[in-house]
A and B are shown apart, each in its own frame.
Chain A
C-alpha cells in the first residue's frame, strides 16, 4: 500500500513544477536560449549528469509503501531504494568493520575446536559468507569487481544507445551518428556521456559488490555505510530544494509588492526582512528547533510513527531554514521590481487598464523569474552544507533520520579510535562534496547564463552581488 510521507508529497509536487517549467522552456525560445548557454559548458554538463544521478537516487527513495505482515499490521514504510538495496539494508553486523573486510574490527573471546579460549577477530555474519575459506577473499573481490564493472558499462552503453535510437526515431544511421558525437567528438555532450558511463559503472559495481561485502564498511551498530550514505541523499536534496521552494511564494509576493506599490507597503516589507535578517541565522534556527523539540516532546501522540515524526521535523527545518534565507531573495526581487515598474511595457499595460494583480502576475513575474532561478540554484549547495553544521549543533534533522550531517556527527570521534575508523566519515564527506561541487559548478553556469547584467561584459565574469550569500550560514558558524 502506498504510504507517502509529507515531504514525499512536496518532492513530487516539486517534480511536477520542474516538469511544467521544462515544458515552458521547450516551448519558448527566450527560455531555451539561456539553458543552451548553460549546457555549452563542459563543467555544467558534467555537473548536470551527476546531479541527475543524485536526483534519481533521491526520487527512488521518495516512493514509500508499507506492506501488511501476517498479523495484519502495517509494517514500516519502505521506499523503492530500500527494496533495491535489500541485502545492504538487512545484512546488519554487530559493530564496526572495515570496507571489504570479512572480519570485525575488535577482537572477541571465542572457544576454538580444542576447547581453549582465544582472542581473535570475529568473522562477520554476512559479508563474504559465501566464501568457503577466508583466503579466497581478494580473488573473489577482484572477480566480482570486474563483473560489476562490465555490467555497469554494459548498462550504461545500452541505455545510451537506446536514447540515441529514440532521438533518431529508429533510424540506424542517425543513431550511429549521435552515438559517435556523444563519445568521440569534443563536445559538452561527450563530457556528459562519459560522466554518465563512469557514474553508472561505479554505482553498479558498488551495488553488485554490496550484495556480498560491505563496500564502505559498517558503522558502530553494524549498518552498511554505503546504504546509509545512499539514504542520506534524499535528506540532502530535500533540504537543498524544499527550503528555497517553500519560501518562494512569500518572497515573491512580498518582494514584488514592495517594489511595485512602494510607500507604506515597502516600509512594512523592508521592516520585516531587516528584522529577520538581524537575527543570526543559526540562532534563529536554534531557537525555533528548541521550541519544536518542546512541542514534539509534549505532543508525541499526534505523530503516527517515529519515521513520520522525523519527516515532519525535516519539513519544519526546511521552513525555518527558508525563513532565514528568503530575505535576500525578497530584497533582490524588490529591487528588480522597482526598476521594472518604470519600464515601457508596464506603463503600457497600465494605460490599457490592466488590473494591478494582472500586471504583477502576467507582466512582472515572468521578468523576475531569472532571479528566482539563480537564487534557488545558488542556495542549494549552501543549504546542503548547512545541514551538516546543524546536525552537529543538534538542531538538524531527527537523529533517527539518515543524513550526512548525522553520519559526520556520530562519526567524529571515530578518528580517535585505534584502529582508526575512517569510512563512515569519508563516505559522508565524499558524497556531500561531490553533490555540492556539482551544484556549485552548475550554479555558476546558470548564473552566468541568466544574469542579464553579464551579457554585455566580456569573459563570463559576474558582477552578481549575491556571490557571498550561499555560504552565509556555513560562514556564520
Chain B
C-alpha cells in the first residue's frame, strides 16, 4: 500500500512539472515582465525606472531560465523559473504582487472555505440520494418523469440566479439571515446557512439525476433479480441492496472532490463575502495579481492529483475485487 502511494506520488511529479511549465509559459512567454509591470501599475505614462523598481521588488528582473551572470548552481537557481515556478513544489508561494505572504493567506483562508464546502457536500449528498432513490422507486411513472424534467430545469438555471435570488428573498425580503458576511468565531452559523442551502439546492438537479442513473443501473443487475425472486418487497430491495451497492460509485465519485473542497467555491464565497480561498482567487483575478493566480493553479493541480490518488485507494477499500498495482 505504502509502496503504491509512493509510486503514484512519483507519477504525479511529471504532471505537476507539466502544470508548472504551462503556467510559467502562460505568464512569462506571451508577455514580458515589463508588460505585466505596466498593466499592474496601471498607467500608460509610467517611466522605465518605475517598471524596473517594480520588477526588482518582486524579483522579476532576473533571466527566465538560465542566468549566465551567476556562478555555480546559481546559473539555474537565480532565475525567474526557479524562484517563481519551481519553488511552488516545496510550497513556497512567495509574495503576492501587493506584497502579502501568499502561503500564510492560504493557510488562513482555507478554513472558511471548508466551513462552507463540507456542509454543502454532505447535505447535498443526502438530499440528492434521497431524491434519486425516490425517482428510482417510481421509475417509469409520473413521479420519475416529472422528477427528471424538474432536475433538468434546476440544472438549467444559472447558479448566479440561485445566489442573487436567495440573497434577495431570504436576506432582503424576509430578513431571515444576513445578506452576507462572516465571523471567524463560533457564531458564524447564521452566515453559513444561506450559502450552504443555496449550494445544496443548485446541485440537486445534476446530482440526483446522475445518482438516479446509477441506481437504475444497479437495479438491472442479477442480484436485484435474485432479491426480488426471494420475495423481498421492492422497498427492501431498494434500501437494503440497491442503495448499498449504488453508494460505491457515488462515494468514490465524492472522494475525488474532497481535496478540492479547500479551494472553495468562487461564486458563493464572493457573493456572501466569505473570506475563503474562492473569494481570494476572485479578488486576485480581478486585481490582476499574477502571483496568487500562479500559486492557486499549482495548489489546485496538487489537490486534484491527491483526489485521484484517494479515489484509487477508496476503490480498494470498498470493493475487495480491485487490487492496487
B-contacting residues of A (Cβ < 8 Å)? 43, 271-272, 274-280, 282-284, 286-288, 290-291, 293-295, 297-298, 381, 385, 388-389, 392-395, 408, 412, 415-416, 425, 429, 432-433, 436-437, 439-441, 444, 457, 459, 461-464, 467-468, 471, 474-477
Contacts and interface: CB of A to CB of B under 8 A. Distances in A.
Contacts of B265: 477
Given A275-B19, A278-B305, A389-B159, A412 B267 contact: no
A437 B19 contact: no
Given A280-B260, A476-B266, 13 more contacts: A271-B14, A271-B15, A278-B304, A280-B263, A283-B300, A286-B293, A294-B36, A415-B172, A436-B155, A437-B156, A444-B152, A459-B216, A477-B159
Contact of A461 (B26, B30, B39, B217): B217
Contacts of A440: 152, 155-156
Nearest to B305: A278
B241 interface: no
A64 B124 CA distance: 47
A433 B156 contact: yes
A477 B300 CA distance: 13
Nearest to A443: B152
17 contacts: A271-B14, A275-B22, A286-B285, A290-B290, A291-B31, A294-B39, A297-B35, A385-B159, A412-B164, A415-B172, A436-B155, A436-B157, A439-B156, A459-B139, A461-B213, A475-B206, A477-B159
Contact of A295 (B30, B168, B209, B266): B30
A279 B156 contact: no
Q: Which 3 A-B pairs have the closest CB atoms?
A: A275-B18, A280-B300, A437-B156
A267 B163 CA distance: 42
B142 interface: no
A392 B160 contact: yes
Contacts of A389: 158-160, 266-267
Contact of A298 (B27, B31, B160): B31
Contact of A393 (B159, B216, B285, B294): B285
Contacts, number: 162
A439 B217 CA distance: 25
B282 interface: yes
A279 B297 contact: yes
A277 B155 contact: no
Contacts of B16: 278
A457 B288 CA distance: 52
Nearest to A272: B18
Interface of B is mostly: helix
Interface string B18-62: 110011001100110001101100000000000000000000000
B99 interface: no
B294 A279 contact: no
Nearest to B17: A275
B15 A274 contact: yes
Interface string B133-167: 00000011000000001001101111111001000
Interface of B: 14-16, 18-19, 22-23, 26-27, 30-31, 35-36, 38-39, 139-140, 149, 152-153, 155-161, 164, 168, 172, 203, 206, 209-210, 213, 216-217, 220, 253, 260, 263, 265-267, 281-282, 285-286, 288, 290, 293-294, 296-297, 300-301, 304-305
B15 A275 contact: yes
A477 B27 CA distance: 22
A287 B140 contact: no
Contact of B27 (A287, A408, A412, A462): A287
A274 B308 CA distance: 11
A284 B38 CA distance: 22
A441 B206 contact: no
A467 B152 contact: no
B243 to A, nearest CB: 17
B253 to A, nearest CB: 8
Given A437-B153, A459-B140, A467-B209, A278 B15 contact: yes
A41 to B, nearest CB: 12
Given A271-B15, A477-B266, A461 B216 contact: yes
A408 B297 contact: no
Contact of B213 (A275, A412, A463, A475): A463
A381 B288 contact: no
Contact of A278 (B36, B140, B301): B301
A145 to B, nearest CB: 28
Nearest to B300: A280
Contacts of A278: 15-16, 18-19, 300-301, 304-305
B238 to A, nearest CB: 15
Given A279-B301, A287-B297, A394 B285 contact: yes
A409 to B, nearest CB: 9
Contact of B293 (A287, A381, A425, A436): A287
A287 B23 contact: yes
A462 B157 CA distance: 23
B210 A429 contact: no
A54 to B, nearest CB: 14
Contact of A467 (B168, B210, B296): B210
Contacts of A381: 155-156
A98 to B, nearest CB: 17
A476 to B, nearest CB: 8
B7 to A, nearest CB: 16
Contacts of A459: 139-140, 216
Given A278-B19, A287-B297, A393-B266, A462 B158 contact: no
Contacts of B30: 291, 294-295
A386 to B, nearest CB: 9
B213 A462 contact: yes
Contacts of B27: 287, 291
B310 to A, nearest CB: 14
Nearest to A289: B285
